[in-house]
Structure formats: structure tokens, C-alpha cells
Amino acid sequence: MGADRRRPDSIGPILVASGTYGYGDEFGSRFALERLGGIVTKTVTLKPRAGNPPHRMVATPSGMLNSIGLENVGLKAFVFEKLPKLASVPTAIVASVGGETPGELVRLVRALEAAPCAAYEINFSCPNVAKGGARYWADARRLESTTRKLRALTARPLIAKLTPNATDPAALARACEQGGADAVSLVNTFVGTAIDLERRRFVLGRASGGLSGPAIKPMALAQVYEVSGAVQIPVVGMGGIVTATDALEFLVAGAACVQVGTASFARPDAPMLVADGVAAWCASHGVKKLADIVRTVRVWGEGEEGDAWT
């Protein structure tokens, strides 16, 4: 992410979202990861987590519900087993960290300061854990004070990943900005459920999970537009991005860069295809810097004469 803390988009416009590409080393021999701006790792917690009981994933119309529950190897194995392998990955590694309390996040960031990663994405938004999840972190004062504590520990970029399941996501983003975050990323999954009618049971192992995929794109775009107009720091957009067109829509809505997530389950090369498509579109439209198109979307009736509905 470079020396300029306020420009997380400087590492490239297309990243891989947390939880959708493992820890990042699994695909290095198969795909040209250098075409990406970065990989956000699976969220790491202080201790290993087995995750939620099955079933953990279910397909939905134009999307997917998951209830993974932050399954991960824990901090020790992440530092000594995973990160050394990532040293050879030819793109930036953003460590996603998750904690049930501010103190846990402080311990994680302090421990990772000696590790080779480019930035931290603080997972304030997982809806699939009983404690320390999105509801706990959907508190502006808690977000600001926690971000401030983390800011004091590191010069690396801090990206605050926000929940979309909040009444006022812009207020949460402003709190993170005031606490010293370099960027906010959104959206994480929306809370949803699926029911097996014949058995009259929830399909997932829990009553609800996180909805992702193309189904959430319109809502994600709306929140990116709202939040990017409420803060001065960059917004990292995600939510239903499958094609280069999707990614470009997020950029003109206000995202400085984007993350590709669920699409990778169907096509592991989806992030690279999106990156190539964005580059091709920019070349064909004479766009030399992506910053030139960020938040350039207009409402009908604004801008050039003739744009208004008649």
C-alpha cells in the first residue's frame, strides 16, 4: 500500500476479499496473482476457531448464504506457518484480523507488526459469530475508540471493514475516520436465512448466515455511494462483483478500489479477469488514472444539458 497512508488504492484497483481465497498462497502456482492489487487473507483470531456447525453454505437465487464462523488457524499458526509462504506471493498481503473485544484486536495488531504484511483490514463486521460480531461493533463510539488504539500501534494502513446491517453505515464510517482509519471497506454480507420447508428446519447450522453474491450488489452500491460522500478517506467497495463492469460501477459510485469475493468460488480466476477487464475498459475510454472516474456518477438532471428525463 505504499508510504501514503491515505491512498490504499495505490496498491492496485482489484483485491481479493477476505475468506474467499484462503490465506492467499493456495493459488499462487495456478494464477498470475501479480495482476491483482492485493489479497486479503482469511480473518485471523487470537486462538484457532473451528467455526460454526454444518451446514455452512447454501446457494440462493443470485447469491450464497454462508455461516463459516471465522474458522481459522489462529494467530500462532498464521504467523509461523501461513505468512512465511506468502512471502513469495507477487502481490500485497492484507491481513484480516478479528476480535471479540478491543483488547483482542490490540493484541493481534501488536503481534503482527513484525510480520510481513502490507496492511490490516479490521473485521468489524462478521455476522456469523455469537460474540464480537457485527452487532457488537455497530457502535460508533466503540469503533472510534478501538480504531484509535490500533492507530497508535502501527504505521501500516488500517482498513475498517464495516457491517452493512446497520441503520447508519455513514456514521460508523465517520467514527472509524475520526479514530485514524486510512480507509473503510464495505459491504460485508447481509444477514439472511434459508429454510427447508419439508423438514421445517433452517438449512444452515444456525438460524441465519451472511448473504453475498450478485443479489446484494444494488444494496452494496448504494452504501458505497452514501459512505464515500460522508468521509474523506477512501472507500474499498465489494458486494456482488463478478465482472469488470460491476467493478467499474463501484468505482464511479465512490470506491477507490474494490474486492472480488463470492465470484471466486465459481471461478478462482475471477479477480484476474475483473482486473484485466477494468484495464481494457480504461484503455478503450482514455482513462489514464482510475481516480479520475471515482465518484463521478450523476443523478438525472445534473451535469450536461440533455441528461434530464423529459
Cell of 214: 450478485
**2 lies in some domain:** no
**305 lies in some domain:** no
Question: Does position 1 have pLDDT exceeding 50, yes or no?
Answer: no
pLDDT band at 3 (very low <50, low <70, confident <90, very high): very low
Question: Does position 290 have pLDDT exceeding 70, yes or no?
Answer: yes
Q: Which residues pair with 161 in a beta bridge?
A: 123, 185
| Helix axes of 244-253 and 217-228: crossing angle, nearest 10 degrees | 30
**156 lies in some domain:** yes
pLDDT band at 22 (very low <50, low <70, confident <90, very high): confident
Please give the average per-residue pLDDT across 188-206, as a whole number: 96
Question: Does position 9 have pLDDT exceeding 80, yes or no?
Answer: no
| Cα-based distances in Å from 25 to 14, 22, 115 | 17, 8, 16
Query: What pLDDT, on a 0 to 100 scale, did the predictor assign at position 24?
Result: 75
- Average pLDDT, whole number, for the chain? 90
Query: What pLDDT, on a 0 to 100 scale, did the predictor assign at position 6?
Result: 36
**299 lies in some domain:** no
Q: How many structural domains compose the chain? A: 1
State how far the Cα of 310 lies from the Cα of 294, in Å rounded to an integer.
Answer: 28
**198 lies in some domain:** yes
Query: What pLDDT, on a 0 to 100 scale, did the predictor assign at position 88?
Result: 83
Residue 132 sits at the vertex; the CA angle it makes with 8 and 71, to the nearest 5 degrees, is: 75
State how far the Cα of 190 lies from the Cα of 310, in Å rounded to an integer.
Answer: 37
Higher pLDDT, 126 or 19: 19
Question: Does position 306 have pLDDT exceeding 70, yes or no?
Answer: no
Instruction: Lowest mean pLDDT of 2-6, 161-165, 189-193, 304-308, name the range.
Output: 2-6
Query: What pLDDT, on a 0 to 100 scale, did the predictor assign at position 292?
Result: 95
Out of 117, 126, 176, 257, the active site residue is: 126
Cell of 44: 485471523
Domain that residue 63 falls in: 8-292
**269 lies in some domain:** yes
Query: What pLDDT, on a 0 to 100 scale, did the predictor assign at position 298?
Result: 93
pLDDT tens digit sequence for 62-121: 999 999 999 999 999 999 999 998 888 889 999 999 999 999 999 999 999 999 999 999
**192 lies in some domain:** yes
State how far the Cα of 98 lies from the Cα of 235, in Å rounded to an integer.
Answer: 20
Beta-sheet pairing, 190-192 with 119-123: unpaired
CATH code at position 275: 3.20.20.70
To the query of whether residue 126 is one of the catalytic residues in this protein, the response is yes
State how far the Cα of 207 lies from the Cα of 40, in Å rounded to an integer.
Answer: 28
**263 lies in some domain:** yes
Higher pLDDT, 138 or 195: 195
